[in-house]
Amino acid sequence: MLIQRLGPVGHVHLTSRRFSSRLLNSEPCQGLWKIKIWLVYNFIRLMIIIKTMIYRESLPENCPPIEADELNSRREVYRLVCSNPPQDDDFRSQREMKPSAVFKNISECQAMGLSVFSNRDVCHKTMKLPAFKKCQHYVCRVVLDKGAGRIQQTGQLSHHTWWPLADFDILASCNADVS
Amino acid sequence: MKTIHYKSALFYYDGVQIFEARDAIGGYYIAVLAETIDGLDRYILAGVEPEKLRQFKTGKFDLLSLLIDRPEEDWFIAIPIGGFDAALYLELQSNPLKNNPDLPDSGFLLHEIPADTNTVEEARSRNNLVFEISVEPPEAADEHQIHAETLAGLLLNLQTLVKHAYSAAVRDMSAASRRSNDVPDGHLLNVVVPAAPGSFRLVFEAASQSDIFGNNVMANALQRIDQFFEHVSNPKQTLDMVKQHRGHLAGAYLRMLRFLIEHKTGLRYAWAEPAFNNPKCYSVTNAQAIPLVEYLSGISNIGAETVVLQGTLEKADMGNGNWRLATEERDYSGKIKPGGPSLDGLKIGSRYKFNCLEEIEESQSGREQRALFLMEHEPA
pLDDT digits (tens, 9 = 90+) for B324-357: 999 988 899 998 877 778 888 888 999 999 988 8
Classify burial at B94, counting beta carbons within 10 Å of its beta carbon; exposed 0-12, middle 13-18, buried 19 or more.
Answer: exposed
> Model confidence at A1, in pLDDT bands (50, 70, 90)?
very low
Mean local confidence (pLDDT), B373-380: 86
Between CA A46 and CA A34 the distance in angstroms is 18
Mean pLDDT estimate for chain B: 86
* Residues 56-75 in B contacting A (C-alpha not used; CB under 8 Å): 63
What integer pLDDT is reported at residue B45 of this predicted model?
95
Across B42-51, B198-207, B246-255, B274-283, the highest mean pLDDT is recorded for B42-51
Domain B305-379 has CATH 2.40.50.140: yes
Cβ contact B108–A94 (<8 Å): no
Of A4 and B35, the structure prediction assigns the larger pLDDT to B35
The nearest CA of chain A is from the CA of B247 a distance in Å of 25
Interchain contact A4–B (C-beta under 8 A): no
Which residue in A129, A138, A145, A141 sits closest to A179, CA to CA? Answer: A138
For A129-179, what is each residue's pLDDT tens digit? 999 988 888 999 999 999 999 999 887 778 999 999 999 999 999 888 755
Chain A residues lying within 8 Å of B14, measured CB to CB: 93-94, 97, 114-115
Among B35, B39, B214, the residue with its CB nearest the CB of A155 is B214
Does B99 touch chain A if contact means CB atoms closer than 8 Å? no
Region(s) of chain B under CATH 2.40.50.140: 305-379
CA distance A135 to B71: 32
ipTM of this complex? 0.73
In degrees to the nearest 10, what's the CA dihedral of B70, B76, B79, B83?
-50
Q: What is the pLDDT of residue B200?
A: 67
Name the nearest CA neighbour of B141 among B266, B269, B289, B281: B266
Instruction: Assess contact for B360 and B369: CB atoms under 8 A.
Output: yes
Backbone phi, then psi, for B187, in 5-degree steps? -85, 85
DSSP category for residue A89: G
Given CB atoms, is B18 within the 8 Å cutoff of chain A?
Answer: yes
Contacts of B214 in chain A (CB under 8 A): 155-156
Stated pTM of the model? 0.71
Separation of alpha carbons B19 and B75, rounded Å: 15
Q: Of B112-121, B182-191, B352-361, where does mean pLDDT reach its minimum?
A: B182-191
pLDDT at B197: 54
pLDDT tens-digit readout, B64-109: 999 999 988 899 999 988 778 888 999 999 999 998 999 999 999 9
- Among B242, B243, B322, CA closest to B284: B242
Among A97, A105, A127, beta carbon nearest to B212: A105
Q: Give the A window 46-75 contacts with B, CB below 8 Å.
A: 62, 65-66
CA gap B374, A117 in Å, rounded: 54
Which positions ≥6 away from A61 have C-beta within 8 Å?
A: none
Residue B319: pLDDT band with limits 50, 70, 90: confident
